[in-house]
Structure 1
Amino acid sequence: MVEHEGNEMSAFELPKAGKQFRICDTGQVLTYEQMTSGIDADLLPHDQDSLELFLSVMGAEATDE
């Protein structure tokens, strides 16, 4: 594998504890923890792309509440 100078990957961070998301279909507001409760840890988002896919599948968008 070849590394390119100056091409560093940024660290992935999950949403902060208590961050709220609105489920678009129902208007229900849930925290990230509530949305992921009961999901096997191996299936949870592990990078930015999988987080965006997870939120898209859930029909969720971040709120400012």
Structure 2
Amino acid sequence: MEQKKATEQHAVTEVVDRLAEKYPSVDRDEIARIVADEYTNLDGKPVRDFVPVLVEKSAKKRVKQVAKA
């Protein structure tokens, strides 16, 4: 179980990396906060297999809004 959680957290870190590369005008720390917030929203949900994908999708929407501002 701990290995799966570590793998999930690594995947979420990669989400931050991808979004930071895609949106260089947005501060990386802000992207990390958005991703962490989206990750927290899914914490405790029973099906964990798609958490990184769901986090990236919802965080990308928010980062895109910040980039436009």
TM-score by length of 1: 0.35
TM-score by length of 2: 0.34
Structure with more of its chain in helix, by fraction: 2
Specify the structure having the higher radius of gyration (Cα).
Answer: 1
